[in-house]
Structure 1
């Protein structure tokens, strides 16, 4: 009996230990005495395990606001602090990091005035470059290579997204050749530093047909090549992300539609330079865990109904839209992640939409049903898929609402704040699906202290399998009055 009990205990320990090992740690936290009513704070993560905190603190009737940047290391200790002189009405737009620098786009009082701040993350040295760009009124996303900026921006004339090239040294700005339709948008823009190239993926549609186009530029914005992914009779590309590598090894990973281009039917992979001849298609039916957000009986009925429609030659009855995230390289290939959603009022785009906030300006309500992750090898063959059901996740703009971290070994963690002080997450080990709901609470810095309220909370992907949680806490420590602080917590898996 003793041996049986011992064996049972050993099995229990072996089974439970991996689950506990996945629980996140919160080894470091800082609490900053900032005024929530006078301070705007933006937190920027960098892959070198550092953070950059940008604060704009309102002044008084006689003093201008102050703009300050502080760099923190992985232990959340400050390494340098810089005050930067900017016009009073300046506001943060977006950023881009290419080590050892982080670039920050700032818009001035006039919507055509832009400044790009270039920080050396180790030394804190900052340089400013001011430009007036009459053709645009917003910058959604930008990339930098050899002091040349590639801007996905909004046209000041008709609000459509346009691509600009900006030379930092000369100040020259020019539009880059592309086709912009009312239903076209950018899927991805990626810098290939070793090759000194920039890839831009566009999703183009005239309302009836769609195609993908990948444009390849050199650092000066000169067009090197064009690659078109044309629709097949029952395989119509919708949106795609591009992988790193040279032109012979780059892949497009994205979504496709079967007949109706309003909804995705599955995922595809294809060599960028070879097009559809060597494409691989994986319908939602082919995926092991795509329907796990449903109850088992409902999943079984859906699969049977869909298989019957396909076998009888009917169009798929599935109505899913997928918002793709960036591609993560691994030791064996790539990980593609995204969010499955539906729009409450109908319509909605199948790729990334850009507006003044980097997202769609159309005021619809977008509901997320799940987050997904797929592993591909270097040839584009699907290795595994997994999913994470999302609860009460919705937004008025089409933008990412979950954060994803992944390591070189293919481990994935997806997380998002849901309410109060809680963070929901799912640890993915390839296709091993976890049914249990997993969440944790952000912890205060002092033992015995209590967090009585949370405001403007968020979580960001950091480095490795680390996130950073941030926001405003009202904290009550034993024997002291409550206080409101801006908190930053490192969350490690």
Structure 2
């Protein structure tokens, strides 16, 4: 009888314990997990490069290039398409003539395009790779000699190539149908730069956004039809606020939103962001009257990358200047991403960076300014803003970036919209840093995830050219180069190009293994 009473009491205590646990605040379990990994041996003594193009839920395309123009060996391209589980679907090879060197690439839902040029001539070649079956077509034509190419996009059966000829901007349209070339008129002007090249496939229009380097820094949108005829020009005078960059997003048949960053003194340093609605047929004056300028100090979370006391001091100085009737000058350089459409309107993402230089030491322990060496681009933080379809700012948030230095100015922060939350992530030195937000709220502070190898008995000794891409659903795709060595021996490390499938999940209880799943039968072939 006593044992029965004891059993009943223990059950009551257990039920009470579970009840108390259920009432306690439960921490979020959302985190990044590594679900698949493949490694491709890489020879450091061989001229080769790896490229990865995410194709959403259709998988990915890997491009392995061997040979370079400079060592006088033909370029050999190995195209390999994989599904989302890294299973090989098809493989194609293409040998490029030694006289051509690669310039830029561009991808659409159906094709991946490669742009090549003949060394020191105006001869160009376009390669079109069909993503369904790997069929390859090439087209050749003449663009311009001494053409410094900066932009390359494709719409329909036409390629648009933008750049500079004798420091003047040029955009050319190349037809895959008859290999003909047209120059978009009205752009070949001194002291003018191309801000962006925006394609509007629904309206079959091309928008070239340019800004003048002359006094007042005029910003213009020049719209062309599919036949390369100039339809309209929209000019924004920079007498008060100079628009530095702009991105266009159509919101209906007759309207688009123009979003970008601006300065107050005709310099590349941003004072804030702007947004305005562009209606077909309206004048520049009407567009200017509806423009909204949002200074960085007006954003609730822009300065959250700073420590609280530094943030307070900066905002106090800005407020004091305003009370004195003066403008406080911010000095931020922005890398503005393409606008992302949402059900409510759009999302703007921009990364803040600055060029970093390192001075050379003199024999007396000082620094020689004339011997400054360029190190790369140092990122400080990214900010993200949500707008409705009327251009009204709904919310903003901040993503701090720690110790990230890149030799090239590229988009490092990736954004994945997952239901009512947004996952922000960037790679650095073999690690992925994430933050989860919901509008202006931070659901989960920044945390780091270290990329794992295929074996617990190995360790990564070096990681370089880390790249991260928002893939599909809750999945990210990470890739780069690593040196991997046995953790308990002195064997020489091996070098690999890695591919990691990462999943951001709310519930990881079904994943009992902390290690990665490794494919053995379907590893990418070289």
Name the stretch that deviates more: 252-261 or 278-287. Answer: 252-261
Structure with the largest fraction of strand? 2
The 3 A distance-change label for structure 1 pair 365 and 120 is: closer
> In the alignment, is residue 211 of structure 1 matched against residue 222 of structure 2?
no
The 3 A distance-change label for structure 1 pair 187 and 2 is: farther
Distance 2:105 2:377 in 1: 25
Q: Residues 455-466 of structure 1 correspond to what in structure 2 (within 5 A)? A: 455-466=464-475
Distance 2:98 2:412 in 1: 33
Distance 1:111 1:466 in 2: 43
- The match for 1:242 is 248
Q: Work out the number of aligned pairs and report it.
A: 466
> In the alignment, is residue 373 of structure 1 matched against residue 384 of structure 2?
yes
CA RMSD between the two structures: 3.1
Distance 2:253 2:374 in 1: 39
- The match for 1:300 is 312
How far has the Cα of 1:251 moved from its partner?
Answer: 0.5
Distance 1:232 1:423 in 2: 43
The 3 A distance-change label for structure 1 pair 162 and 34 is: same
Distance 1:261 1:12 in 2: 53
Distance 2:466 2:121 in 1: 28
Conserved 8 A contact 2:350-2:383: yes
Conserved 8 A contact 1:36-1:472: no
Structure 1 counterpart SS, 2:250: coil
Distance 1:88 1:223 in 2: 38
Q: Residues 49-448 of structure 1 correspond to what in structure 2 (within 5 A)? A: 49-58=58-67, 64=74, 66-88=76-98, 90-110=100-120, 112-155=122-165, 158-179=166-187, 184-206=192-214, 208-231=215-238, 233=240, 235-246=241-252, 248-259=254-265, 261-273=267-279, 274-343=286-355, 365-395=376-406, 397=408, 399-407=409-417, 409=419, 411-419=421-429, 421-433=430-442, 436-446=445-455, 448=457
Name the stretch that deviates more: 303-312 or 184-193. Answer: 184-193
> In the alignment, is residue 453 of structure 1 matched against residue 472 of structure 2?
no
The 3 A distance-change label for structure 1 pair 117 and 463 is: farther
Distance 1:265 1:232 in 2: 15
Task: Output one character per residue of 1:425-445: Cα deviation in whole Å (capped at 9) or x when no partner.
Answer: 333322123784411111223
Distance 2:145 2:422 in 1: 41
How far has the Cα of 1:68 moved from its partner?
Answer: 1.1
Conserved 8 A contact 2:244-2:268: no
The 3 A distance-change label for structure 1 pair 400 and 483 is: closer
Distance 2:323 2:73 in 1: 72
- Higher alpha-carbon Rg: 2
Distance 2:253 2:209 in 1: 14
- The match for 1:33 is 41
Conserved 8 A contact 1:236-1:257: yes
Distance 1:227 1:464 in 2: 38
How far has the Cα of 1:219 moved from its partner?
Answer: 1.8
Q: Any stretches of 5+ residues in structure 1 without a counterpart? A: 346-361
Distance 2:208 2:422 in 1: 26
How far has the Cα of 1:111 moved from its partner?
Answer: 5.3
Conserved 8 A contact 2:113-2:129: yes
Structure 2 counterpart SS, 1:438: strand
- The match for 1:355 is none
